[in-house]
Amino acid sequence: MKPAFSSRRQRLGFLLCLLLIVLSPVYFRPSRKLCFEALVFNLGPIDYWYHQTFIEKKSVDILVIGASVIGAAIDPNVLRQQLHSLIGKELNVVSLAGNWAGMDFLAFRLKDFLENRKSKMLIISADDGLEQHPFFGQFVHFSDPDFVRLTRINRFFELYARNIASLPRLLRTKVRSHPLEEVFLARSAQSKMNQPDLAMKQDFAGQPLSPFDRRPPILSPSDLIIDFESGEISPEKISSKDVTPYYEFIIELCKKHGVKLVGVLVPNMDDKNPRPVVESLITPGTKIPIVSVDPKHLFGKLEKADMKKLFSDKVHFNINGSRYFTATIAPAIGKLYESANN
């Protein structure tokens, strides 16, 4: 059997190539824009995220960021209309929600946004994002000081390896002919929508939506806003485990940039009681209001057949459900927005 290398020069060349690959994250440090450009489209409307994060400069009144559950639950256009009726102001509401939960990924997307634009309020899910995002290692470079500060040593090496694996995609993205902003402009020219709609246009059975004319319940802000800081309520908690530092990072970013942070609990189809809250959002001293609708109030007067007109599956609202839920929580969002900006 012939040896793998016929000369010392070949062995050294191979070792040099291997070393260059292993050390590639050290000498190749992609810009934040390039990291965005390299994301895959099944994560969500990444061209819209890119435009809103790096191109658009107008300040935002309410920013929604999270996974598909909250993205399908809160319709920014309906929220904008409802708040205009409630508080008499035309607010700029932007949703940067997408597929897959992962508070690590969301925290650094928020960091990018707040370093380029201002937002007065941030809405996140109060019971989601507990997983580690599969694309986090591609999206954040290991040399980012916040990444180093927040990441545990065992995961640091895992994500360093993902930085290596993402190098071909980053290089290919760097030379491709259709940047995300061009994709966004082309899509915007074909669509009249202000922003992408994550809520699906089908019912629970996968059929096209049928008309839904049931009015959402009328609830006061006090019925919707839970003040855990008072100590009068002891909520069921969800341990945030490995993503606790990223929740804390989001709280830190909001304090640094003067953003009012609000958590929203989105009910599932089968919920009988309010959902538990991620413990990182209700630790003593955080004072983060949580907006929650008791399923008995939200769904109590609906038949099972009506419920299926609101959901595309057991955890995601469809367009009917998004409008129904958004209109229900709007008084609470309006109250919190006014209290933070008066």
State the average pLDDT for the chain.
82
What pTM, to 2 d.p., does this model score?
0.88
Q: Check pLDDT > 70 for residue 291.
A: yes
Length of the chain: 342
Comparing 5-19, 48-62, 182-196, 281-295, which segment has the lowest mean pLDDT? 182-196
Look at residue 231 in the predicted model and tell me its pLDDT. 46
CA nearest 288: which of 222, 220, 226, 221? Answer: 226
Q: Could you tell me which residue, 51 or 41, shows the higher pLDDT? A: 51
Give dist(CA 24, CA 165) in Å, integer.
Answer: 10
Q: Check pLDDT > 90 for residue 94.
A: yes
Look at residue 196 in the predicted model and tell me its pLDDT. 61
Q: Could you tell me which residue, 48 or 234, shows the higher pLDDT? A: 48
| Number of Cβ atoms within 10 Å of the Cβ of 177 | 5
pLDDT class of 165 with cuts at 50, 70, 90? confident
Cβ burial 15-24 (10 Å sphere, 16+ → b, else e): eeeeeeeeeb
Comparing 40-49, 194-203, 250-259, which segment has the lowest mean pLDDT? 194-203
Comparing 70-84, 190-204, 262-276, which segment has the lowest mean pLDDT? 190-204
Q: Which residues contact 325 (CB under 8 A, 6 or more apart)?
A: 73, 74, 216, 266, 293, 298, 317
Comparing 50-59, 69-78, 121-130, 226-235, which segment has the lowest mean pLDDT? 226-235
Residue with tokens 């035309």: 90
Rg (CA), the chain: 22
Q: Check pLDDT > 80 for residue 130.
A: no
| Number of Cβ atoms within 10 Å of the Cβ of 74 | 28
Q: Check pLDDT > 70 for residue 101.
A: yes
pLDDT class of 211 with cuts at 50, 70, 90? confident
pLDDT class of 240 with cuts at 50, 70, 90? low
- Structural domain spans, the chain: 25-340
